[in-house]
Every structure is written in C-alpha cells, then in structure tokens.
C-alpha cells in the first residue's frame, strides 16, 4: 500500500468522524478519544518506529489522549474538583510516552533528536509540582518568592566561580 493511499483512507475516516461529531452522533469526550486513537493508529499504520518522521502522528495522539482522559475523569461527580495540576501531569506523561515508544529507540540520532521529549515532559512535571504545591500550601506561598531568588543568586555565584576558576 502506498503512503498516498493510506493518507487518503485516513482523511476519509477523519472526515467521517468529524461529520458524525457535527451531527451530534459522537459526543465530545468520545470524539477526543477517537481522534487520539486515530492519530495513534496512523502512527502504527505508517510504520511506527520505521521512520523518525512518524513521531508527528504519535505526539498529537498521546496529547489528545491525555486531554480526553483528564476531561473524562473531571466529568465524573466524584472528581469534579480535580486539581488542574493533573492536566499538566497528563501532558507530561504523554511526552514521556513519546520518548519511551519512539525517540528512545533511534540510537544513531544525536542527543537532542533522541531526548527532546524528556524536556517538555520535565517542564510540565515541574509545572504540576508547582501548582500542586501552591494549592496545598498556600500559607507558604511567600516562601516561593524567596526560593527562586535564592536559586538565581546561587546559579549566578556558581557561574562567577566557574569563570574565575577557568582563568
């Protein structure tokens, strides 16, 4: 099967799903799950790890799956007051999944091409931690104002020290 044939079939399927969503046959959350699974299926159909460029289908698939999962969980009466921080945890896990499923296996790539999904995953995880910390410990929120300033001073001091040490 040629790539144009596969691409054409995928466009037809996407169009049918969009039409069913517009007609109200497929509700919003189910549509997000179907869209995510469509991207993941496209990733698999086009050869998954056979080509590095296929990651372009895996990324939106995992991100949409994360968004759909958060939306479905938050829609449950028990979890109505679920912290928005968990949204960022889900996004972090989606980029970690991209790393573990796809980019990790390309041993011949340089460090940046191989490990790039780890960086947004770490940033989103840090955002999850900061939001969770601020929600749980609002009385200690003023402490954060000093922590980042101390971190800036420490990093600056380390840079000055390493610059002097080199000379």
Same domain, 76 and 104: yes
Q: What is the pLDDT of residue 138?
A: 66
**How many domains would you assign to the chain?**
2
**Based on the domain organization, do 84 and 148 belong to the same domain?**
no
Q: What is the mean pLDDT of residues 59-87?
A: 87
166 and 99 housed in the same domain: no
pLDDT band for position 4 (cuts 50, 70, 90): confident
The residue ranking higher by pLDDT, 154 or 56, is 154
- Which has more confidence, 135 or 75? 75
Residues 148 and 91 in one domain: no
Q: Are 71 and 48 in contact (CB under 8 A)?
A: no
Same domain for 161 and 82, yes or no, is no
162 and 101 share a domain? no
Co-location of 151 and 130 in the same domain: no
Provide mean pLDDT across the span 12-35. Answer: 83
pLDDT at position 1 is: 59
Please tell me whether residues 107 and 120 are part of one structural domain: yes
């Amino acid at each position: 099967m040629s790539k144009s044939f596969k691409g054409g079939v995928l466009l037809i399927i996407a169009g049918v799903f969009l039409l069913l969503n517009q007609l109200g046959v497929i509700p919003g959350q189910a549509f997000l799950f179907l869209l995510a699974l469509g991207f993941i299926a496209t990733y698999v159909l086009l050869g998954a790890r056979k080509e590095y460029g296929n990651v372009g289908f895996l990324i939106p698939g995992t991100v949409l799956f994360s968004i759909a999962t958060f939306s479905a969980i938050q829609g449950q009466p028990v979890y109505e007051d679920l912290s928005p921080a968990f949204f960022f945890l889900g996004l972090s896990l989606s980029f970690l999944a991209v790393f573990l499923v796809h980019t990790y296996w390309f041993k011949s790539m340089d460090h940046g091409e191989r490990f790039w999904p780890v960086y947004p995953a770490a940033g989103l995880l840090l955002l999850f931690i900061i939001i969770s910390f601020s929600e749980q410990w609002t009385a200690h929120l003023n402490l954060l104002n000093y922590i980042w300033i101390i971190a800036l001073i420490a990093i600056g001091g380390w840079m000055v020290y390493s610059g002097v040490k080199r000379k």
